[in-house]
Amino acid sequence: MTNTIHRPALVPATGHQLHLAGVHFDAVRIDGIRGELVAEWLVEASGDDAGPIVCEAGGGRWVYFLLAPGEVAAHDWPLGVQRHGGGTRTVTYIGTPALEGNTWPLRWYSVPTVTAPYVCPARLRDTLQ
């Protein structure tokens, strides 16, 4: 079965765009190689339909797992995982890249689809354990 690319409002037509976490989505952020491994495992476990996962090319090479609004506060997360969104006390803007073209320094590790517009928090938590 081929997944249909889903381009919700949070995905810009070109380049990249900042969004306030907790409004369009919540986010779980994991640093560097650990984040990349979690993303790889999650994509594999979901049959290439993991939902939106964004990677940074520079700095700490953060990986952002975009969850439905309200999901970050609804779950306990292990150490080393940063939470952004509803229920947190900080205001955080997170960038989302376009689906194609020059989006440096951001890129999609996994794009949102009709069947996975957000990362499943239960599957992400299982992957983190």
pLDDT number for residue 1: 47
Contacts of 76 (CB under 8 A, 6+ apart): none
The model's pLDDT over 56-115, given as tens digits with 9 standing for 90+, comes to 988 778 999 999 999 999 888 998 899 999 776 788 999 999 999 999 999 999 999 999
Handedness of CA 3, 8, 32, 88 (dihedral sign): negative
Alpha carbons 118 and 88: distance in angstroms, whole number: 19
The model's pLDDT over 4-48, given as tens digits with 9 standing for 90+, comes to 566 788 899 999 999 999 999 999 999 999 999 999 999 999 999
- The pLDDT-based confidence of 119 (bands split at 50, 70, 90) is very high
Say if residues 54 and 16 touch (Cβ distance below 8 Å).
Answer: no
